[in-house]
Amino acid sequence: MPVIDLSTPWGMTLALLPELLLSAWALGLTLYAGVRNRDEGDQQRAGWIALAGLLATLLVVIWMWAAGTRSAGVPTMMAVDGFRWGSSAIFLLGAILTALISLTYVGRERIWAPEYYVLLLLGTVGMMFMGGGADLIVIFLGLELMSVTVYVLAGINRRSVFAAEAALKYFLLGAFASGFFLYGIALVYGATGATNLTVIDLQLRSLALGSNAMLAIGIGLLLVGFGFKVAAVPFHMWTPDVYDGAPTPVTAFMAAAVKAAGCAALARVLLHGFGGAVAVWQHAVWWLAALTMAAGNLIALAQAQVKRMLAYSSIAHAGYLLTALAAGTELGAGAFLFYALVYTLMTVGAFAVVSGMGRGGERELKIEDLAGLSQRRPWLAAATAIFMLSLLGFPGTAGFMGKWYILQSVIDAHQSLLAVVLVGASVVSAGYYLPVVMVMYMKPTVSETAHDGLEVRGTTRLVVAGTALCLLLFGLWPSWALDAARDGGRTLRPAASVTLGR
């Protein structure tokens, strides 16, 4: 089992190998985009170069994870553990799927911007720093790197007024949320004298700071900052308009990878740094999870447009991810990793279908427009049905296994009421997932030429088919993925769960 000494320059370089590789690739792609940016072919080649960099980085992460790479002594700025490798693999997978969708999408929508892929790579680097940061300053830098790139990606389609609106809203509210996050770091530093998560945990346990008011306010402000990034209620108001206005591949990237990165960083902060003060934050996370699940699903019921329905659906799934973290145990951390993987697959797959079926941003694609799809495009209807059923949590799909694992973690933590809320929210979600399946299979087409021009082509077809197949495989044979997620969750070494007494 390789052991890295983080006190040496070589050890720190080796620990940062995935991030350094992807950063260097992004810089090289920047040079390419500055020289070759004349036509669609140049942009396509930039996309393939970015895809190669993401795949190479994923292989490095898997190699370090499989080898059991860990650090000697106390982590300084970056953690070297299974949770970091597992979360990084999820972020890279989300970026790879986004790049594959984009190869087909950006040419069709005439988005001539080779820097699109540079931003995608840099945003992924920021996510990896968020999931692996062992210091609040590193997590903040990763958060800002990710946020700035996604602000630009949301408005990358310069010909769309809706994309410009989405970018502006996201930027203004994101900058406001970053202020809360920074103030939270300042207060935590004032209470503990440290920003390193391991040192913070030691200070909490040795000095009994669980009742410190400054610490409690600091944690609250950190939760506000994270709540915005993961679109938790009541910090979700930006989500529908931004997701609706952004190009669909960017929406998929935000809904899957960005949300997973925010929750991974939150898990790292709460379980690694504040494991000795579970009673301070567990009630707040409990309510965030419950409100997010309830509000996201209820509002999604009223949506007629597919893209906005999926936007509110993503809010509800943020609640499911927060439910795993509310358990405050290593089992909850493992459940988070598994569900983040499953959520990435089914969300990107669903948005890949939307990107192939719509035009001009896909804002006008309604659920009724899918009527009769099973008769004209049976394979596409079958894949869409798999995505909807997995998002619902139907048995036999990976979504069911993910929710079952989360339920197991909260019940094991004696939080039965939160488990009831999760089950009830999932039942409500059937009211907007199942109509999509019903429309495709039980209603005739609006006209004889309704789906004649529809063709999900190229790499988007690969994403739709691959994610649908993976969801079925993980639903029927989830053992190895569950074991890997459980092992990754153990490395956070959270404190024992505190019962809420509900």
The pLDDT of residue 155 is 87
Is 278 a member of any domain? yes
pLDDT, mean of residues 228-246? 87
Long-range CB pairs of 234-238 (<8 Å, 24+ gap) are 234/291, 235/177, 236/292, 236/295, 236/296, 236/315, 236/318, 237/173, 238/169, 238/170, 238/173
- Residue 57 is predicted with a pLDDT of 95
pLDDT in tens, 91-103: 999 999 999 999 8
| Backbone angle region of 232, left / alpha / beta, with phi > 0 → left and psi within -120 to 50 → alpha | beta
pTM of the model: 0.91
Residue 182 lies in a domain: yes
Number of H helices, E strands in the chain: 21, 2
pLDDT at 3 over 70: yes
Domain range for 481 is 3-490
In a domain, 499, yes or no: no
Average pLDDT over the chain reads: 87
Tokens of 310: 């999926």
Q: What is the mean pLDDT of residues 425-436?
A: 92
Residue 320 has a pLDDT of: 94
**Is residue 131 within 8 Å of residue 264, measured between CB atoms?**
yes
Is 341 within the bounds of a domain? yes
Q: Which of 51-65, 86-100, 354-368, 413-427 has the lowest mean pLDDT?
A: 354-368
Does the pLDDT at position 33 exceed 60?
yes
What total number of domains does the chain contain?
1
Per-residue pLDDT at 451: 60
Quick one: pLDDT at residue 450? 61
Tell me: pLDDT of 288 over 70: yes
| pLDDT at 498 exceeding the cut of 50 | no
- State pLDDT tens for residues 443-479: 877 666 666 566 677 888 899 999 999 999 998 888 8
Instruction: Flag whether 66 is in a domain.
Output: yes
The arithmetic mean of pLDDT across residues 342-363, rounded, is: 82
Q: Quick check: is 92 in a domain? A: yes
pLDDT of residue 85: 92
Exposure string for 140-179, b = 16+ CB within 10 A, e = fewer: bbbbbbbbbbbbbbbbbbeebebbebbbebbbebbeebbe
Residue 157: pLDDT over 50:
yes
Mean pLDDT of 178-200: 90
pLDDT value of position 336: 92
Please indicate, yes or no, if residue 20 is contained in any of the structural domains: yes
C-beta of residue 81 within 8 angstroms of C-beta of residue 6: no
Residues paired with 3 in a beta bridge: 70
Task: Give CA–CA dist 218/386, Å, rounded.
Answer: 42
Q: Is residue 164, in this structure, part of any structural domain at all?
A: yes
Indicate if the pLDDT at residue 121 is higher than 70. Answer: yes
Reading the block at residue 55, the tokens are 């795949």
